[in-house]
């Protein structure tokens, strides 16, 4: 909303080339609003506006931009300005940038960094893509247990300016092995002459550097933390992960799962940044696969052509049965996928999930089956057709509910993303099997 209001003024200043006025306007705009504004401008205009953003804001604005715009800006900023921009980025933002850039450009940017910054970036880039190591930042404050509180506070004031957060202070030994994490409040309330070891309780929560980043989210949520220390296998403190970084990852995961649930290959860029050909390629593969699987449904109907000719009323209930089966499977799969993501359900508990979903499926099936029996009895076909469609609804509901809950767990068992059991794919499978159940029951009852 804010961007739409100010965009005409910005474009007018660019047209007039009134750079001083434009720089003054930008100084009063929030970082997030500037990033949004740059995303709406022509790329050449975006370069001009970005150069007018104050040095203090540039890195934060840059971190908020789409990867495609980041790459374009980097290609048009040279010399010391480029080095300053990259070095001003936080280590985790810089790592995310390097991952999205072409290898040649990443190497160029690494070469312009100072030796210390380059070493830090290479260490972060060396961890697996989905690991906590790629998400952590080494910008934290650590103290030693033998220091006085007075010395520790002086150290916090000195190092805290460049730290990601000073809400939590870490206590390490000479080898940088983590001994404790202490809230800053405890330092401020302690007597200056006391030792850091006097206020330690040696109780802390940490995560391994190679753990999956979703595990970091679960730990932060479980213990209601704002920051989480990251350790190697020897307990050495390597960095920290903050809750804002986790929320960014969570947003990415939700977006990716949402796209997968709609049978779309995940798109890493924003909708406006991605091209038409890319959108086509991301969608057409799944649609072709779903079309082929739909051929199975039409083949099943053709196979039971004689049954439909004998009792034409059976055809009237096909949409109701297959749509209900798809809806039920989508409901159960969504619940289980969410429970797996939140750690509420594990693969080891599959039997309890099956038992629970069988009971729920039977209850749902009896309710929906009774409704369909009444519909068939009074609307079309009489009591026999009503019995067939009602019984078919019970069986299809049980089957769909069980399939929707078990498939995500099966994929998780084999370390695959359960989100690939997307609603369209699951619905297509349930459609085909539901038709088989329906016509098989009709054949038994009517003795075709």
The domain ranges of the chain are 2-126, 142-242, 276-446
The CATH class that applies to domain 142-242 reads alpha beta
Please report, for residues 57, 80, 250, 299, 364, the alpha-carbon distance to residue 113 in angstroms, rounded to integers and kept in the order given. Answer: 20, 10, 30, 63, 62
Rounded distance, CA 284 to CA 136, Å?
37
Rounded distance, CA 115 to CA 117, Å?
6
Per-residue pLDDT of the chain (448 residues; tens, 9 = 90+): 556 667 778 888 888 888 888 888 888 888 888 888 888 888 888 888 888 888 888 888 888 888 888 888 888 887 777 878 888 888 878 887 877 777 667 767 776 777 777 767 767 777 787 788 888 888 899 999 999 999 999 999 998 887 888 999 999 999 899 999 999 999 999 999 999 999 999 999 999 988 988 888 889 988 999 999 999 888 999 889 988 888 777 666 655 555 555 444 455 555 555 667 776 776 667 667 667 766 777 777 777 777 767 677 778 888 888 888 888 888 888 788 778 776 777 778 788 888 888 899 999 999 999 998 888 777 766 788 888 889 999 999 999 989 888 888 887 787 766 665 556 667 778 888 888 898 888 888 877 6
Which pair of structure tokens corresponds to residue 222? 């479980």
Which pair of structure tokens corresponds to residue 136? 């952590």
Please report, for residues 315, 334, 370, 409, 425, the alpha-carbon distance to residue 434 in angstroms, rounded to integers and kept in the order given. Answer: 13, 20, 18, 22, 14
CATH of 2-126, one of 1.20.1050.10, 3.40.190.10, 3.40.50.720, 1.25.60.10: 1.25.60.10
For the full predicted model, state whether its pTM sits above 0.75: no
Which pair of structure tokens corresponds to residue 16? 């007039």
Rounded distance, CA 320 to CA 331, Å?
16
Contacts of 40 (CB under 8 A, 6+ apart): 3, 7
Which pair of structure tokens corresponds to residue 109? 């940017």
SS (H, E, C) 187-246: HHHCCCCCEHHHHCCCCCCCEECCCEHHHHHHHHHHHCCCEEEEECCCCEEEEEEEHHHH
Please report, for residues 88, 346, 353, the alpha-carbon distance to residue 80 in angstroms, rounded to integers and kept in the order given. Answer: 12, 52, 59
Rounded distance, CA 373 to CA 381, Å?
10
Rounded distance, CA 336 to CA 161, Å?
44
Side-chain half-sphere exposure of 246, counting CA atoms within 13 A = 21
> DSSP secondary-structure letter at 12?
H
CATH of domain 276-446: 1.10.357.20
Beta bridge partners, 231, equal 208, 237
Under 8 Å between Cβ of 388 and 445: yes
∠ CA 153-134-183, nearest 5°, is: 25
């Amino acid at each position: 909303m804010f961007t739409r209001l100010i965009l005409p003024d910005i474009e007018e200043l660019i047209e007039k080339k009134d750079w001083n006025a434009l720089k003054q306007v930008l100084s009063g705009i929030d970082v997030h609003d500037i990033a949004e504004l740059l995303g709406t401008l022509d790329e050449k205009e975006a370069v001009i506006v970005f150069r007018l953003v104050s040095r203090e804001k540039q890195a934060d604005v840059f971190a908020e931009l789409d990867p495609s715009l980041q790459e374009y800006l980097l290609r048009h900023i040279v010399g010391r300005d480029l080095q300053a921009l990259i070095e001003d980025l936080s280590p985790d933002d810089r790592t995310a940038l390097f991952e999205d850039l072409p290898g040649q450009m990443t190497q160029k940017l690494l070469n312009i960094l100072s030796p210390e910054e380059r070493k830090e970036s290479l260490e972060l880039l060396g961890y697996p893509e989905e690991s906590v190591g790629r998400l952590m930042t080494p910008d934290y404050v650590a103290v030693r247990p033998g220091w006085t509180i007075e010395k520790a506070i002086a150290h916090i004031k000195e190092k805290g300016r460049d730290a990601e957060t000073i809400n939590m202070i870490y206590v390490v030994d000479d080898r940088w092995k983590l001994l404790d994490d202490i809230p800053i409040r405890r330092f401020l309330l302690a007597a200056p002459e006391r030792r850091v070891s006097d206020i330690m309780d040696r109780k802390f929560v940490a995560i391994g550097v190679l753990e999956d980043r979703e595990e970091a989210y679960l730990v932060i949520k479980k213990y209601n933390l704002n920051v989480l220390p990251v350790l190697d296998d020897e307990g050495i403190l390597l960095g920290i992960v903050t809750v804002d970084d986790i929320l960014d990852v969570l947003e990415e995961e939700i977006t990716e799962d949402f796209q997968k649930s709609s049978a779309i290959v995940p798109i890493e860029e924003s909708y406006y940044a991605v091209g038409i050909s890319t959108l086509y390629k991301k969608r057409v593969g799944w649609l072709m696969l779903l079309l082929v699987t739909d051929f199975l449904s039409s083949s099943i109907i053709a196979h039971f052509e004689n049954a439909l000719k004998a009792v034409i009323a059976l055809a009237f209930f096909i949409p109701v049965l297959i749509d209900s089966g798809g809806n039920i499977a989508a409901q159960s799969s969504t619940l289980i996928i969410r429970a797996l993501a939140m750690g509420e359900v594990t693969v080891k508990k599959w039997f309890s999930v099956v038992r629970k979903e069988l009971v729920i499926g039977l209850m749902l099936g009896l309710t929906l089956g009774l409704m369909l029996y009444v519909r068939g009895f009074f609307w079309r076909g009489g009591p026999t057709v009503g019995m067939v469609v009602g019984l078919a609804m019970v069986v299809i509901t049980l089957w769909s509910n069980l399939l929707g809950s078990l498939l995500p767990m099966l994929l998780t068992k084999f370390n695959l993303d359960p989100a690939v059991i997307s609603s369209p794919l699951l619905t297509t499978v349930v459609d085909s099997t539901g038709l088989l159940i329906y016509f098989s029951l009709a054949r038994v009852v009517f003795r075709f």
